[in-house]
């Protein structure tokens, strides 16, 4: 997958972000969520990303608890244990309370697993996954790491 440099079109001030919310089962009142934030990469030597570098994608994805519990965690957990995509530290499990730095190789495994199951899904569930996959594939055109932040 090629990384496209559209720096002026997809990276912006965090205050101007427009979250994309993906919801199937979660009630509108739900406050616990996962936020998917593509990392704005840098070619600077010894670069250490700051919050602004993963909080500036024009439309971060938000998925609330009932939906990520039922639909996303089974796929996200399949890649663990893995290594942090930025610093290589071992990660034993997905953390719904903190940041998960997931690299493109792991995202490709997740995407393949979901796509393999799509034909067996009910239409509304399939639509949810298709929207998630479309967002992931678009985001991965601009980065090799998506930081998934949980607030549970």
**Has residue 121 got a pLDDT over 70?**
yes
User: Alpha-carbon distance 78 to 97, whole Å?
Assistant: 18
Closest C-alpha among 130, 94, 7 to residue 102 = 94
What is the rounded average pLDDT of the residues 48-60? Answer: 90
Collapsing DSSP to helix, strand or coil, 61 comes out as strand
Distance CA 20, CA 62 (A): 6
- Residues in CB range of 69: below 8 A, 6 or more apart: none
Determine the pLDDT at residue 6. 47
Mean pLDDT to the nearest integer, 109-128: 98
**pTM of the prediction?**
0.90
pLDDT digits (tens, 9 = 90+) for 80-113: 999 999 999 999 999 999 999 999 999 999 999 9
Q: Across the chain, what does the average pLDDT equal?
A: 92
- The pLDDT confidence band at residue 8, using thresholds 50, 70 and 90, is low
């Amino acid at each position: 997958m090629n990384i496209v440099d559209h720096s002026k079109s997809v990276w912006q001030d965090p205050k101007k972000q427009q979250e994309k919310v993906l919801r199937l089962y979660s009630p509108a009142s739900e406050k616990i969520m996962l936020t998917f934030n593509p990392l704005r990469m840098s070619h600077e030597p010894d670069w250490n990303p700051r919050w602004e570098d993963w909080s500036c994608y024009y439309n971060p994805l938000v998925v609330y608890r009932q939906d990520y519990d039922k639909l996303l965690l089974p796929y996200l957990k399949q890649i663990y244990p893995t290594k942090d995509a930025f610093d290589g530290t071992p990660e034993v499990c997905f953390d719904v309370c903190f940041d998960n730095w997931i690299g493109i190789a792991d995202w490709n495994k997740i995407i393949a697993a979901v796509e393999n199951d799509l034909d067996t899904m009910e239409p509304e569930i399939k639509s949810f996954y298709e929207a998630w996959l479309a967002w992931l594939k678009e985001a991965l055109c601009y980065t090799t790491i998506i930081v998934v932040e949980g607030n549970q």
